[in-house]
Amino acid sequence: MKSGDIVLALLPQADGHAKLRPTLVLCQLPPFDDILVCGISSQLRQRVPDFDDLIDLNDPDFARTGLAAPSIVRLGFLATVPQSIIKGRIGVLAPPRVALLRQRLAERLAEAQGQ
C-alpha cells in the first residue's frame, strides 16, 4: 500500500456502523504501519471548496482511479486504519493531485495550530 492508492476499506460512519468505502491512502504511520486514509464520496454536494478534490469523468486520470462515478476526496473524513480492514486496491490517484491534497491538509492543520 502506498500514498495515492485508492482502496476499499471498512470505515466508521456517523451512525456508528462500518461501511465498505473507497478511500485514498495518504501515508503509512508508525509504529504499527497503520494507514492514514481519507474517504471518497459520490455525494458531490458535500464538497468543501478549496479543500476537497473533485474527481470528474472528464479528468484525464479518472479511469485510473477505479471509481464508478464522479466523486470527491473528502479531506475532512480522515481515519487511521489497520491494513487488515483494507479489502483491496481499486485504482490510483495521480501523484500531483495527492501532493496537492496533502498540502491542503497540512495547511489546514497549521492554521488550526495557530488558533
The pLDDT tens digits of the residues spanning 72-96 come to: 999 999 999 999 999 999 999 999 9
Whether 11 contacts 23, CB under 8 Å? yes
Domain count of the fold of the chain: 1
CATH value at residue 33? 2.30.30.110
Question: Which residues fall within 8 angstroms of residue 77, CB to CB, at 6 or more apart?
Answer: 11, 38, 39, 41
The pLDDT score that the predictor gives to residue 16 is 81
The per-residue pLDDT for range 15-72, each reduced to its tens digit, is: 888 889 999 999 999 999 999 999 999 999 999 999 999 999 999 989 999 999 999 9
Cα separations (Å) of 94 from 14, 50, 60, 73?
29, 18, 10, 13
pTM of the entire structure? 0.92
Domain span at 96: 5-113
Work out the average pLDDT over 1-20.
89
